[in-house]
Amino acid sequence: MLSAQSLAAIDREVAKYPADQKRSAVMGALRIALVERRETGKTPEERCLNTEVIEFVANYLQIPPVAAYEVATFYNMYDMKPVGQYKITVCTNLPCALSGGVNAAAYISKKLGIAIGETSADGKYTLLEGECMGACGDAPVLLVNNHKMCSFMTPEAIDKKLAELN
Amino acid sequence: MAVFVNGVIFDGIDTSAQDCWKLEAYVARGGYQALRRIIESKMAQEDVIAEVKNSGLRGRGGAGFPTGLKWSFMPRSFPGDKYVVCNTDEGEPGTFKDRDILRFNPHALIEGMIIAGYAMGTKAGYNYIHGEIFEEYELFEAALDEARQAGFLGKNILGSDFSFDLFAHHGYGAYICGEETALLESLEGKKGQPRFKPPFPASFGLYGKPTTINNTESFASVPFIIRDGAQKFLEAGKPNNGGTKLFSVSGHVNRPGNYEIPLGTPFSVLLEMAGGMRDGKKLKAVIPGGSSAPILPGDVMMQCTMDYDSIAKAGSMLGSGAVIVMNEDVCMVKALERLAYFYHEESCGQCTPCREGTGWLYKVIHRIANGEGRPGDLELLDSVGNNMAGRTICALADAAVFPVRSFTKHFRNEFEYLIEHKKPLVDHKWC
């Protein structure tokens, strides 16, 4: 279900922990599985985690499926719902709001024609509001697909970023 | 943007240089000298701990607990596995200092953790890194590889009989994992739900083994303390508040960023360093230690110095050193609404008073902010808060209640006005 490359990456996670504590690698393994789904999925449904993938990861780590499932549903960066090719998460918490975070989210929403929480009809973008990313000094801040942080996102910087993704 | 003045952690770093994080650059700045000296002189474990104690270093994650004392709680002679764990799960609104340590000076943290491992007789450590900073996680892994290749990590470090390895664990979006026992649960591959204490991690920590957990900035201060001496670190701050401290300044200032300054520096000086108020607006209020710290009116803040004791005396806490600055255009009800939503969203759901209470706090503040407040809502907020604070396993409920209490205390008129007139007293603008 996962590529040899993903499995090798999971093995590297497993190696970080004591031999009898493979469960510790579940967070990394789910992240690796999600990245593969995002990169290979062709529709929003194929880009998120589902019970089959979660069960596969659990079996690979020899832990009960529910142990992996409860992790996938507890931490909010694991996409459990259909998601666009580019998931844009804008921080709108207080420190960011004071430096344009709320305005940035509104600008992107208008520009993409989707409300916060929605995915565009072509399946390309999902727009979300996020909680603190630990980068308040760079506000407005947004994340693209969980792993790429973009700082100082003024309207001009947003225009540039969206053009790049397009 | 990052600005460092009189730094301990950022001493001599040119953060604009792309390779400033690398091992070679760190060694050129005097890095790994402390570890080398400890190993070559076969320094006694208790002497290392005594040095950290004498430095007056207090935990930089928020609680301000003396780091050396914490280290002394570890059963050094315990024969089985023991762990040192670093908390880089930085997600308290306003706090963004540990990210800069990871991207500009990761080896200071690595060396600090190796020294901690030596002092406490542990063979392995983990650094738990906040989910949203994946690039810094990858960079930290690269720094670990460098340290391993140079013989600072792994078996028989620098030819001694001391072995220690260190790994990075990447979180995936849960503020609660900044709570140390939730972090341990998460590191074990579980939901990040805090544990009852006692037992404390020093006796029952990661995988049930003795564990010491410190903040990134605390560990990263250790090489300086050992290399240049506890006294020099202590003198960089003020009595009972040793050293310099990173302050993350955000909000309505001209130059948001991190400022490493001696503890005890007047707030007015820090504000000036951050370029003063943006657009020349008037300072209204400051949250001096991260979103969980009580808010203080601007004029009170202008009389404070930035250290644990002065801020505590003014009725707030220094916390993680996250300074959120607000100008006169901010409606305090709107500001509090945003924070209340955060705690509601991030409650782990384990304890009923927190799970339900954070939701109620948000709902009531939300309706006040939207002109739908009812007479008695402020008393209701008090009552909900009183049923949360101190009644849960961890401090998240307290952290949710502190802002509510302090906002409604210092800016009560804005809440009352909105409830009575259905419109805000302040023509609110975020920025």
User: ipTM score here?
Assistant: 0.97
> Which positions ≥6 away from B86 have C-beta within 8 Å?
B109, B113, B125, B126, B127, B128, B213, B214, B215, B216, B219
Q: Write the residue in A23, A95, A138 that is nearest to B251 by C-beta.
A: A95
- Name the amino acid, one letter, at A125: Y
A48 is in an annotated binding site: no
Please tell me the distance in Å from A65's CA to the nearest CA on chain B: 12
Q: Do A139 and B92 touch (CB under 8 A)?
A: no
Please tell me the distance in Å from A81's CA to the nearest CA on chain B: 16
**Which residues make beta-bridge pairs with B124?**
B83, B165
Confidence (pLDDT) at B77 = 78
pLDDT above 80: residue B368? yes
Share of chain A above pLDDT 90, in %: 99
pLDDT above 60: residue B2? no
Note the CATH number of domain A86-165.
3.40.30.10
B interface test, pick of A79, A80, A89, A136 with most B CB neighbours within 10 Å: A136
d(CA A153, CA A144) in angstroms, rounded, equals: 12
Q: Find the mean pLDDT for residues B301-312.
A: 94
Q: Which residues of B touch A144 (CB under 8 A)?
A: none
State whether residue A38 is helix, strand or coil: helix
Q: Write the residue in B1, B134, B346 that is nearest to A146 by C-beta.
A: B134
**Contact indicator for B406, B317 with CB cutoff of 8 Å:** no
CB burial of residue B385 (10 Å; 0-12, 13-18, 19+): buried
Dihedral pair phi/psi, residue B81, rounded to 5° = -65, 145
Please tell me the distance in Å from A3's CA to the nearest CA on chain B: 21
Q: Do A24 and B430 touch (CB under 8 A)?
A: no
Please tell me the distance in Å from A40's CA to the nearest CA on chain B: 20
Q: What is the pLDDT of residues B258-297, one digit of tens each?
A: 999 988 999 999 999 999 999 999 999 999 999 999 999 9
Q: Do B173 and A78 touch (CB under 8 A)?
A: yes
**Which residues make beta-bridge pairs with B393?**
none
Q: Is B155 on the interface with A (CB under 8 A)?
A: no
Please tell me the distance in Å from A72's CA to the nearest CA on chain B: 9
d(CA B1, CA B15) in angstroms, rounded, equals: 9
Q: What structural domains does chain B harbor?
A: 3-236 (3.40.50.11540), 244-327 (3.10.20.600), 332-421 (1.20.1440.230)
Domain A4-74 has CATH 1.10.1660: no
A132 is in an annotated binding site: yes
CB contact residues (below 8 A), chain A span 2-31, against chain B: 16-18, 21, 23-28, 30-31
Q: Do A149 and B1 touch (CB under 8 A)?
A: no
pLDDT band of residue B38 (cuts 50, 70, 90) is: very high
Q: Do B169 and A26 touch (CB under 8 A)?
A: no
Chains A, B: CB pairs < 8 Å:
169
Q: What is the pLDDT of residues B46-101, one digit of tens each?
A: 999 999 999 999 998 888 899 999 999 999 878 889 999 999 999 999 999 999 99
Q: Which residues of A touch B189 (CB under 8 A)?
A: 21, 23-27, 63, 67, 71
Q: What is the pLDDT of residues B3-27, one digit of tens each?
A: 566 568 888 888 889 999 999 999 9
Dihedral pair phi/psi, residue B325, rounded to 5° = -105, 130
Confidence (pLDDT) at B95 = 96
**Which residues make beta-bridge pairs with B36?**
none
| Domain boundaries along the sequence of chain A | 4-74, 86-165
Q: What is the pLDDT of residues B120-167, one digit of tens each?
A: 999 999 999 999 999 999 999 999 999 999 999 999 999 999 999 999
d(CA B145, CA A74) in angstroms, rounded, equals: 31
d(CA B9, CA A164) in angstroms, rounded, equals: 36
Q: Find the mean pLDDT for residues B323-327.
A: 98
CB contact residues (below 8 A), chain B span 339-358, against chain A: 339, 342, 345-346, 348
Confidence (pLDDT) at B4 = 61
> Which positions ≥6 away from B110 have C-beta within 8 Å?
B143, B144, B147, B152, B153, B166
Please tell me the distance in Å from A85's CA to the nearest CA on chain B: 18
Confidence (pLDDT) at B6 = 59
CB burial of residue B33 (10 Å; 0-12, 13-18, 19+): middle
Other C-beta atoms closer than 10 Å to the C-beta of B196 total 8
d(CA B18, CA B138) in angstroms, rounded, equals: 15
Confidence (pLDDT) at B78 = 84
Sheet holding B124-129, edge to edge: B165-170, B124-129, B83-88, B211-215
Q: Do A27 and B250 touch (CB under 8 A)?
A: no
d(CA A26, CA A150) in angstroms, rounded, equals: 27
**Which residues make beta-bridge pairs with B238?**
B241
Q: What is the pLDDT of residues B176-222, one digit of tens each?
A: 999 999 999 999 999 999 999 999 999 999 999 999 999 999 999 99
CB contact residues (below 8 A), chain B span 202-241, against chain A: 207
**Contact indicator for B249, B260 with CB cutoff of 8 Å:** no
**Contact indicator for B318, B264 with CB cutoff of 8 Å:** no
Confidence (pLDDT) at B237 = 80
Average pLDDT, chain B: 95
Q: Do A99 and B167 touch (CB under 8 A)?
A: no
Q: Do B190 and A67 touch (CB under 8 A)?
A: yes
Confidence (pLDDT) at B239 = 76
∠ CA B256-B178-B332, nearest 5°, is 50
Q: Do A149 and B93 touch (CB under 8 A)?
A: no
CB burial of residue A121 (10 Å; 0-12, 13-18, 19+): exposed
A91 is in an annotated binding site: yes
A96 is in an annotated binding site: yes
Q: Do B335 and A94 touch (CB under 8 A)?
A: yes
Q: Which residues of A touch B165 (CB under 8 A)?
A: none
Mean pLDDT by 10 residues, chain A (166 residues): 97 98 98 98 97 98 98 98 98 97 98 97 97 94 97 98 95
Q: Find the mean pLDDT for residues B409-429.
A: 97
d(CA B348, CA A100) in angstroms, rounded, equals: 28
